[in-house]
């Protein structure tokens, strides 16, 4: 069980980004939330890659509900838990369906073949690319739990120039 220490009082955007990226890369499963009538849909998925800029890649079927919902509303949320660290990361992102063969081959993992027997070249495999614009981090082992203690996450948002900047999370918003 982690030891809880006083929270850091200042949260540096690059440090928050690095903590978030490490958490996502160390935990292959997360909950993807998409929007559709009559309300949101959430499902557990395994991401297959995470780029250095925190772009998350998920393999799926082009006939899946995920793809249909992303085509209608590209704004998604992806939440990853690291139970051992008492931590979570939530990524708010724009999702795009990528059907490019070169990209599918580049991101392919052979263990996916049991779900997609045709492999990356088959007609039942596409990628979802989640390009993040806001990242929320709560991590008690890294002392990332802003005041009020553990009630709001540390937040970074992508600026117009592509850099990540700190954003103050406000309770109730």
Interval 17-65: pLDDT, tens: 999 999 999 999 999 999 988 889 999 999 999 999 999 999 999 999 9
Query: Within its chain, how far is the Cα of 146 from the centroid?
Result: 21
Q: Does domain 13-167 have CATH number 2.30.110.10?
A: yes
Query: Within its chain, how far is the Cα of 26 from the centroid?
Result: 12
Distances (CA, A) of 85 to 3, 15, 89, 95, 110: 10, 16, 12, 28, 29
Of 170 and 20, which is predicted with more confidence?
20
Distance separating alpha carbons of residues 135 and 36, to the nearest angstrom: 22
Interval 85-129: pLDDT, tens: 999 999 999 999 999 999 999 999 999 999 999 999 999 999 999
Assign 8 a pLDDT band (cuts: 50, 70, 90). Answer: very low
Average pLDDT over residues 144-167: 87
Average pLDDT over residues 155-167: 93
Distance separating alpha carbons of residues 50 and 129, to the nearest angstrom: 10
pTM of the shown model: 0.90
**How is the chain split among helix, strand and coil, in percent rounded to 5?**
25, 40, 40
Q: What percent of the chain has pLDDT over 70?
A: 91
């Amino acid at each position: 069980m982690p030891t809880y220490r006083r929270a850091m009082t200042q949260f540096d955007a690059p440090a928050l980004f690095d903590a978030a990226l490490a958490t996502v890369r160390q935990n292959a499963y997360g909950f993807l939330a998409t929007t559709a009538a009559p309300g949101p849909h959430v499902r557990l998925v395994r991401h297959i890659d995470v780029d250095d800029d925190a772009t998350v890649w998920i393999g799926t079927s082009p006939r899946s509900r995920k793809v249909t919902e992303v085509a209608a509303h590209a704004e998604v949320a992806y939440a990853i838990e690291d139970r051992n660290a008492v931590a979570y990361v939530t990524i708010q992102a724009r999702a795009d369906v990528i059907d490019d063969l070169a990209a599918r081959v580049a991101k392919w993992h052979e263990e996916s073949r049991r779900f997609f027997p045709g492999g990356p070249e088959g007609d039942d495999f596409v990628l979802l690319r989640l390009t993040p614009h806001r990242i929320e981090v709560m991590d008690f082992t890294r002392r990332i739990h802003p005041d009020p203690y553990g009630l709001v996450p540390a937040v970074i948002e992508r600026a117009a120039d592509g850099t990540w900047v700190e954003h103050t999370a406000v309770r109730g918003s």
